[in-house]
Amino acid sequence: MSEPFLIVGGDAAGMSAASKARRAAPDREIIVLERGDWVSYGACGLPYYVKGEIESLEDLVAVPPERFIEERDIDLRMGHEGIAIDTDARTVTVRSDEETYEQSYGDLLIATGARALEPPIDGLDLEGVFTLHSMDAGAEIKACVESEDLDRVAVIGGGYVGIEMAEAFDAHGLDVTVFEMLPQVLATFGESVGEAVGDHLREQGVDVRLSTRVERLAGDGAIEAVETDDGTVPVDAALVGAGVVPNAELAEQAGIELGETGAIATDEYGRTNVEDVYAAGDVAEMTHTVTGKPDHVPLALTANRAGRAIGQTVTGTETPVGEIAGTAVVKAFDLAAARTGITDEAEARKAGFDPVSVTINAPSRAHYYPGGDKLELTMVADRETEQVLGASIVGRDGVAKRIDTVATALHEGMTVEEVEYLDLAYAPPFSPTWDPVLTTAKVLNGKLE
Catalytic residues: 44
Interface with its own copies includes 139 (CB under 8 A)?
Answer: no
Site map (CB under 8 A) of its own copies, residues 302-331, x = contact: x-xx--------------x-xxxxxxxxxx
Smallest distance, its own copies to C-beta of residue 126, A: 30
Smallest distance, its own copies to C-beta of residue 17, A: 15
Residue from 5, 48, 130, 169 that binds its own copies (CB under 8 A)? 48
Question: Which stretch in 104-112, 139-147, 260-268, 400-408 sits in contact with its own copies by CB under 8 A?
Answer: 400-408
Interface with its own copies includes 98 (CB under 8 A)?
Answer: no
Question: Which stretch in 3-11, 232-240, 249-257, 294-302 sits in contact with its own copies by CB under 8 A?
Answer: 294-302
Interface with its own copies includes 36 (CB under 8 A)?
Answer: no
Which of 105/189 has CB closer to its own copies?
Answer: 189
Interface with its own copies includes 424 (CB under 8 A)?
Answer: yes
Interface with its own copies includes 374 (CB under 8 A)?
Answer: no
- Pairwise CA distance, residues 402 & 218, whole Å: 43
Half-sphere exposure of 300 (CA within 13 A, CB side): 10
Interface with its own copies includes 396 (CB under 8 A)?
Answer: no
Residue 135: C-alpha distances to residues 42, 138, 147, 444 (Å): 9, 5, 19, 44
Closest CA to 3 of 109, 90, 86, 106: 106
142 phi and psi angles, rounded to 5 deg = -60, -45
Pure H helices in 151-299: 160-171, 191-203, 249-253
Could you give the strand order of the β-sheet that contains 222-228, starting from the edge strand earlier in sequence?
214-220, 222-228, 231-234
**Quick check: 352 and 382 in contact, CB under 8 A?**
no
Which of 106/243 has CB closer to its own copies?
Answer: 243
Site map (CB under 8 A) of its own copies, residues 235-274, x = contact: ----------------------------------------
Interface with its own copies includes 12 (CB under 8 A)?
Answer: yes
Burial of 275 (0-12, 13-18, 19+ CB in 10 A): exposed
Burial of 84 (0-12, 13-18, 19+ CB in 10 A): middle
Interface with its own copies includes 402 (CB under 8 A)?
Answer: yes
Cβ neighbours for 307, distance < 8 A, ≥ 6 positions apart = 12, 13, 14, 15, 16, 17, 20, 109, 111, 280, 281
Residue from 284, 398, 416, 441 that binds its own copies (CB under 8 A)? 398
Which of 207/404 has CB closer to its own copies?
Answer: 404
- Pairwise CA distance, residues 329 & 155, whole Å: 20
**Quick check: 245 and 296 in contact, CB under 8 A?**
no
Residue from 36, 411, 443, 448 that binds its own copies (CB under 8 A)? 411
Which of 223/336 has CB closer to its own copies?
Answer: 336
Q: Kindly give the pairing relationship between strand 222-228 and strand 5-8.
A: unpaired
Question: Which stretch in 69-77, 112-120, 348-356, 422-430 sits in contact with its own copies by CB under 8 A?
Answer: 422-430
- Pairwise CA distance, residues 124 & 414, whole Å: 46
Smallest distance, its own copies to C-beta of residue 81, A: 25
Which of 53/318 has CB closer to its own copies?
Answer: 53
Tell me, rounded to whole angstroms, the distance of Cα 202 from its chain centroid.
24
**Quick check: 309 and 13 in contact, CB under 8 A?**
no
Residue from 203, 257, 412, 447 that binds its own copies (CB under 8 A)? 412
Smallest distance, its own copies to C-beta of residue 12, A: 7
Size of the site for its own copies (CB under 8 A): 67
Interface with its own copies includes 63 (CB under 8 A)?
Answer: no
Cβ neighbours for 23, distance < 8 A, ≥ 6 positions apart = none
Interface with its own copies includes 25 (CB under 8 A)?
Answer: no
Sequence letter at residue 319: T
Interface with its own copies includes 118 (CB under 8 A)?
Answer: no
Interface with its own copies includes 26 (CB under 8 A)?
Answer: no
Which of 58/257 has CB closer to its own copies?
Answer: 58
Closest CA to 264 of 206, 306, 230: 306
Residue from 115, 418, 443, 448 that binds its own copies (CB under 8 A)? 418
Tell me which residues touch its own copies (CB under 8 A).
12, 42, 44-45, 48, 53-54, 59-60, 62, 160, 289, 299-302, 304-305, 320, 322-331, 336, 338, 340, 366-370, 398, 400-405, 407-409, 411-412, 414, 418, 421-431, 433-435, 437-438
